[in-house]
Structure 1
Amino acid sequence: MYPNLYYVFKDFFGIEWNFLHFVNSFGFFVALAFIICSVVLAKELRRKGKEGLLGPVEEKVMVGKPASTTELATNFGLGFLLGYKILGLFMTKGSMVNPQEYIFSSQGNLLAGIGLGAVFAFIKWREKNRQKLATPETRTIRVWPHDRVGEITMIAIIFGLLGAKLFDTFENWDSFLKDPSSIFSMSGLTFYGGLICAGIALWWYTRKHQIPFLHFIDVMAPVMMLAYGLGRIGCQVSGDGDWGIYNAAFKTTANGGILPANLSEFQATVAQQADFFAHNSTHHAFFPKPGFLSFLPDWFFAYDFPHNVNEAGVPLAGCTGKYCNHLPVPVFPTSLYEIIMGLMLFGLIWAVRKRFKVPGVLFGIYLILNGLERFFIEKIRVNVKMNFLGMQITQAELISFLMIIGGIVMIVLLKRRYQEGKTVEKTS
């Protein structure tokens, strides 16, 4: 496991750059997912535009004005924040043992902040000065949906992260009450919370800018499936706790290896590691490696997540310092399974995306596929269960079930409306 990029560079290249402690592996892959998905989003929006399904909107803008005080102050503030924190991080001596504490503390470099703030303000002033006219004028421009990818991505990032953290907080309310500062941590994010909150925000945004919502969500269907698969890479690489129940058919060695085992060995480990299991579930399954999958490594079926970012488990032999724990019994690496399934489902949706003539149907298919994938993976995942109508289910199971039903209802209603529209056209 690589909690942050410092350990990646140290392991692969033998380089120890302290500032890389700041770049958490999970956050890095989430950022990478947003970048890749924004490219795919732009490509699909352009395709829809060429097909005449998405059109431009005319907007009036004022051109030729010099930079205002507000614009200069805003750019200076952004530059100051980045310089004070990010450049300040590069100038910090010693190892950054807790990047979150650094970000939310008053630590930073004042001169770096002022310097970068001045640079940002100068760039804005020069940009506006080059466009300055003797008499500023109002012009009408045409803005296509693919021109708004930057804004769409930012809305998805902001509301996605807020929703993911909010839903995770509700799901783990007792843990939040014990440690309210955990809300500032990047670990513990609920995908469906991000999906719901970002979806509401983007619905409002598309209405505001007159983008047909059904065509827009059809574009988002493969993009969100891709984002899901790529984002899970961060979960797997960092070992953020998004793993499955114990697989009692395997055991963990003291230095982090995985070996076949029997059920009695699992029970013996539970007894030996009483302190750990006193605060952790013993929920498990016994699933040896099937013969027809013998070519796969043992860790595909059971993994102990050594050096995980949560520092969960028991100490690794011969390891000192931070991130020196691993799980005493290996678990199903569900994040790995979701990477595979997420990318495969993306490929499927991408392959069939041009075949559906009814707007919104592709998104309905996405809801069904994503819901089915998550519903079944929850059967072997570690998650907090809640009492719902007398059933013990997880938040994700409930939401995924509603997504499946919602997707089916959506497809039926949209196809019915489409056929009724065709009938009216024929009779008129």
Structure 2
Amino acid sequence: MYPNLYYAFKDLFGLDLPFFKLFQTFGFFVAIAFLAAAYVLSSELKRKEQLGLLHGVQEKITVGKPVGMTEILLHAVLGFVLGYKILGVALNWAEASQDFQSFILSTRGSWQGGIVLGIVFGFFKYRSAKKQQLPKQEVRTIMVMPHQRVPDFTVQAAVAGLIGAKIFHNLENWGDFVQDPIGALTSFSGLTFYGGLIVAAVVIIRYARSKQINIFHLVDSSGPALMLAYGIGRMGCHFSGDGDWGIYNSSYVTDATGKVTQVDPAKFQEVVKGSEQFFTRQYASLEHIPHAPFVKPGALSFLPDWFFAYGYPHNVINEGVQMAGCTGKYCSVLPVAVYPTALYEIIACLILFFILWSIRKKITVPGVIFGIYLMMNGVERFFVEKIRVNTKYDIFGFHPTQAEIISTLLVIGGAVLIWYSRKVFNAAKTRS
């Protein structure tokens, strides 16, 4: 596993570049996911604009305004924060490189760096605004197309998605939140995709309505983008080893180097007892360990063992037991291999993205593509939950997980949306 890009470059290319310790693998893939989704969404919105399905709106802007002190101060504050942390990292490299996340979230830094960069940012903002200032400010009317609002959609989705993901994760793990609320809120781990999707959807739809963008065409355009983003985001989960994995595959165990080995049930119990201290920290007793045996079928012998069971060596959350001969921060490996569910979701979601992308031009009823996306996403997540570790609820004798509940609602919601979209479309055709 690659907790940050330093480990990836060292393992893949043999390059020892400590600077890359600053870039977390999970965050890197999340950034790529947002960029990829923005590109796909923008491309699809442009296509619909060319077909005359989406239209721009006129907005008035004021140009040539005098320099505003508020803007200068905001840029100066941004420069101060960046300088405070950047020079702080440089001056405390040995400490910061070991735990970059903790250092960034702390109050440590360099006042000199903050003041200097704050002055630089403030000056350049003043100079830029001064060049654009006119003797008399003017009000101009411009046409803004939906695809030009993709940066706004991206920023809003990032902020609202992070908040929603945190809220739903802490609701699902209320006991952990109560024990350490500050740590739960500031940690970069512990994010629930559906929480982010729901909150981001509400914020973006409200914004789109205010800009007179057709909601059905907008959500249709976002369906493939969301599926692609989810698949890429899961790469961050898998390659960093963020704990978003499945239950234990009791047909395989891992050794102290992370190598996966097939074993019989007796050996599995022996390894569990040998790592009793690790397991009892998470489960009330050794009998309550979630596991299911599954040996690689002969028909799939061409696939590596880690496709069915993986120990996530060097995982970013330091879950597991100490690895032999390893020193440093990330030296843990799971004693019993788990199902790499994030890997399964990567494959499934990329396939589903290509299906959505291939049928988007063939389906002309607005809203149907997004309904198909909802159903695909719900079905995919519902079944992967069967081998994932999650908090379960007790509802009238049933014990579903949060994701199973939401994924079921997504399938139902997708079916209803398809039915409703077709009904509205056919009614419009009849009237015309």
Superposition TM-score tier, normalisation by shorter sequence: over 0.9
Deviation at residue 7 of structure 1 after TM alignment: 1.9
Cα distance change on mapping 1:91 and 1:10 into 2, 3 Å: farther
Secondary structure (helix, strand or coil) at the match of 2:213 reads coil
Deviation at residue 116 of structure 1 after TM alignment: 2.5
Deviation at residue 196 of structure 1 after TM alignment: 0.4
RMSD: 1.5
Q: Say whether the 8 Å CA contact 2:75–2:122 is kept in structure 1.
A: yes
Which residue pairs with 1:375 in the alignment?
A: 382
Which residue pairs with 1:172 in the alignment?
A: 173
Q: Does 1:202 align with 2:204?
A: yes
Which residue pairs with 1:2 in the alignment?
A: 2
Q: Say whether the 8 Å CA contact 1:18–1:95 is kept in structure 2.
A: no
Q: Say whether the 8 Å CA contact 2:341–2:388 is kept in structure 1.
A: yes
Deviation at residue 15 of structure 1 after TM alignment: 4.4
Q: Does 1:339 align with 2:346?
A: yes
Match of 2:237 among 229, 232, 235: 235
Q: Say whether the 8 Å CA contact 1:66–1:125 is kept in structure 2.
A: no
Which residue pairs with 1:61 in the alignment?
A: 61
| Partner Cα distance (1:3, 1:413) in 2 | 45
Q: Say whether the 8 Å CA contact 1:276–1:314 is kept in structure 2.
A: yes
Q: Say whether the 8 Å CA contact 1:248–1:285 is kept in structure 2.
A: yes
> What whole-Å deviation, never above 9, does each CA across 1:130-159 have from its counterpart, x for those lacking one?
222111111111111111111111001001
Which residue pairs with 2:302 in the alignment?
A: 295
Q: Say whether the 8 Å CA contact 1:207–1:213 is kept in structure 2.
A: yes
| Partner Cα distance (2:426, 2:76) in 1 | 55
| Partner Cα distance (1:389, 1:67) in 2 | 63
> What whole-Å deviation, never above 9, does each CA across 1:141-185 have from its counterpart, x for those lacking one?
111111111111100100111111111111111111222212211
- Once the two structures are overlaid, the 10-residue window that deviates more, 391-400 or 9-18, is 9-18
Q: Does 1:306 align with 2:313?
A: yes
Cα distance change on mapping 1:87 and 1:232 into 2, 3 Å: farther
Q: Say whether the 8 Å CA contact 1:19–1:90 is kept in structure 2.
A: no
In the comparison of the two structures, how many residue pairs are matched? 425
- Once the two structures are overlaid, the 10-residue window that deviates more, 216-225 or 416-425, is 416-425
Which residue pairs with 2:114 in the alignment?
A: 113
Deviation at residue 6 of structure 1 after TM alignment: 2.4
| Partner Cα distance (2:396, 2:72) in 1 | 56
Output the amino acid matched with 2:155.
Answer: M
Structure 1: stretches of 5+ with no match in the other structure: none
TM-score, scaled relative to structure 1: 0.96
Output the amino acid matched with 2:397.
Answer: G
Cα distance change on mapping 1:91 and 1:31 into 2, 3 Å: farther
Output the amino acid matched with 2:131.
Answer: R
Which residue pairs with 2:286 in the alignment?
A: none
Deviation at residue 115 of structure 1 after TM alignment: 2.6
Secondary structure (helix, strand or coil) at the match of 1:7 reads helix
Q: Say whether the 8 Å CA contact 1:306–1:324 is kept in structure 2.
A: yes
Q: Say whether the 8 Å CA contact 2:25–2:236 is kept in structure 1.
A: yes
Q: Does 1:364 align with 2:371?
A: yes
Q: Does 1:387 align with 2:394?
A: yes
Which residue pairs with 2:130 in the alignment?
A: 129
- Once the two structures are overlaid, the 10-residue window that deviates more, 15-24 or 111-120, is 15-24
| Partner Cα distance (2:93, 2:253) in 1 | 41
Structure 2: stretches of 5+ with no match in the other structure: 284-288
**What are the residue-to-residue correspondences of 1:152-163 with 2, within 5 Å?**
152-163=153-164
| Partner Cα distance (1:119, 1:223) in 2 | 38
Which residue pairs with 2:28 in the alignment?
A: 28
Deviation at residue 17 of structure 1 after TM alignment: 4.3
Q: Does 1:258 align with 2:260?
A: yes
Secondary structure (helix, strand or coil) at the match of 1:62 reads strand
Deviation at residue 19 of structure 1 after TM alignment: 4.3
Q: Does 1:405 align with 2:405?
A: no
Q: Say whether the 8 Å CA contact 2:36–2:225 is kept in structure 1.
A: no
